[in-house]
Amino acid sequence: MEIKREDILHLANLSNFSLSEAEIEKLGGDLQDIIKYISQLDELNTDSVEPTYQVFEMENVWRDDEILVQDANREELLALTKEEKDNQIKVPKVL
């Protein structure tokens, strides 16, 4: 599978990244290498192998439906954002 320039631009667009020409070039190469590495698995016959969703043998990890006081309050959390207004997170216009 060959990673094309359009693929990189498409992925960047989906994640709202703006990439420089150099980055497009570099990420394209990196992604190509990663896929080549993973593609080694294609050599194996996995027809009778169950898909692995999870590497730990855990199941049914649930918690009780009880409200807990949080470690961080509204002000502390809002302070982490780039910009706030009226106790809300201010973002560039999206519609």
Partner 1 sequence: MKYIPTIGIECHVQLCTKTKLFSEVDNDARGKEPNSCVSPVDYALPGMLPRLNGEAIRLAILAGRAMNCKINASSRFDRKHYFYPDSPKGFQITQFYHPIIGEGYVDLPSGNRVRIEHAHLEGDAGKLTHFDTYSLVDLNRVDTPLIEIVSMPDIHSAKDAHDYCKALWRLMCFAGVTNGDLYNGNMRFDVNVSIAPEGSDKLGTRAEVKNLNSFRSVERAVEYEIKRQSKLLDAGEKVVQETRGWSDATGETTGQRSKEEAKDYRYMPEPDIPPINLTQEFIDAESAKLPLMPKDYREKFAGIIADDTLEVLLDYPSLMGKLGEVDTRYVKNLSNLFASVLLAEEKSAEYLNDLPTAMELSELCEMNDKKELSSTATKEVFLRLFDPQMKGRGAKNIAKELGLIQENDLGALEAIVDTVLAKPETKKAQEDYRNGEMKVIGFLVGQVMKESHGKANPSAVQEILKKKLA
# chain residues binding partner 1, by CB under 8 A: 37
Contact (CB, 8 A) for 39 and 33:
no
Q: Does 74 bind partner 1 (CB under 8 A)?
A: yes
Q: By C-alpha distance, which of 87, 67, 86 is closest to 78? A: 87
Tell me which H or E stretch contains 35: helix 21-39
Q: Which of 10, 25, 33, 38 binds partner 1 (CB under 8 A)?
A: 10
Q: Which of 6, 13, 19, 28 binds partner 1 (CB under 8 A)?
A: 13
Two structure tokens written together for 65: 């439906």
Binding site for partner 1 (CB under 8 A): 10, 13-16, 53-54, 56, 58-68, 70-72, 74, 77-78, 80, 85-95
